[in-house]
Structures are given as structure tokens and as C-alpha cells.
Amino acid sequence: MTQLEREAIMPRISGIQKNLQRLHVLGKLNFEEFRADDPFALAQHHLRLTLEGIFHIGAHILSRLPGERSVEYSGIAKNLGDANIVSKEFAEKKLVPMAKMRNILVHHYADIDPKKIYEMINEHLGDVETFLQAVVRVVEHPENFGLTIE
């Protein structure tokens, strides 16, 4: 069996949770307050860190499993569904869009729409929690995935 490294996963989970708390606070602002420079910039920062944490955890888990690997974030999302870490539907409908948003935030492929970020913070942070629950299942029961944990 291949070993997951607890130290590669648990600090990232903690970091994601801290960023989620900060995003929830920013999401409580009304839209006019939110789209002001500082709140909007902070939201982008914390959302980017959250999404990068998700895909670093996903890549770590996938690196321990047999099968196809992807270095692209959308591929990591799909492979997590194929490996039953998350459902295939969740991977396609939630993680793939998160991967695209991460790329936009990091590479500035397009102007970032404050409404889109505000909507994501207020309507889709639960998807991050769903992902974290799936990771906790892997950490608590790695044997169900042909893994061990150190």
C-alpha cells in the first residue's frame, strides 16, 4: 500500500478552513462594500489560496494512487472523480469550475468580475466543505482507497 503524508494534507486543510472563515466574513458585506478595492482584493487572495490548497491536496492523493496523473487543475479534478475520492458529478460540476476559477485568479486570463467572486463566496463555499469532507474520509479510512497514512 502507498502512504499518504499527513503533513502534506492536514496543514492544507487547516489553511483552507482559515481562508473559508475569512471569505465568509467578506461575504457578509453588501455588494457595494465588497467590490471596494480592499475587500475585493482580499476575497481574491483568500479564494486563490483556498483553491490552490484543494488542488495540492488532490494532487497529493492522486500521486499515491495507480492510474493517470494530470498536472492541469481540471485534470486533477476529473481524476479525483475517477478515483472515487469525490463523485464524478461533483468533480465535473464543482471541481472543474473551481480549477478554471483558480487559473483566472492566478494567471489573470480575464478581468475578474466582482459579482462572480461575490456569488462564489456567498453560494459555493459549501462545495469546498464537501471536498474537505471527502479528504477527511480518505485520511480516516485510507485502506478504503488502497492507501495508508503516516
For 114-144, the pLDDT digits (tens) are 999 999 999 999 999 999 999 999 999 999 9
Residue pair 2/150 in contact (Cβ under 8 Å)? The answer is: no
What global pTM score does this model have? 0.93
Q: Going by C-beta distance under 8 Å and a sequence separation of 6 or more, which residues neighbour residue 83?
A: 61, 62, 65, 67, 145
The average confidence (pLDDT) of the chain is: 93
The pLDDT assigned to 114 comes to 94
- Domain with 87 in it: 2-149
| Domain count within the chain | 1
CA distances from 122 to 3, 16, 71, 88, 116 (A): 36, 16, 29, 24, 10
Read off the pLDDT band of 110 (50, 70, 90): low
The pLDDT assigned to 37 comes to 81
Q: Taking Cα atoms as reference points, which of 123, 107, 114, 102 lies closest to residue 51?
A: 102
For 39-74, the pLDDT digits (tens) are 999 999 999 999 999 999 999 999 999 876 777 999
Residue 142 belongs to domain with CATH number: 1.20.120.580
The pLDDT assigned to 109 comes to 58
Read off the pLDDT band of 1 (50, 70, 90): low
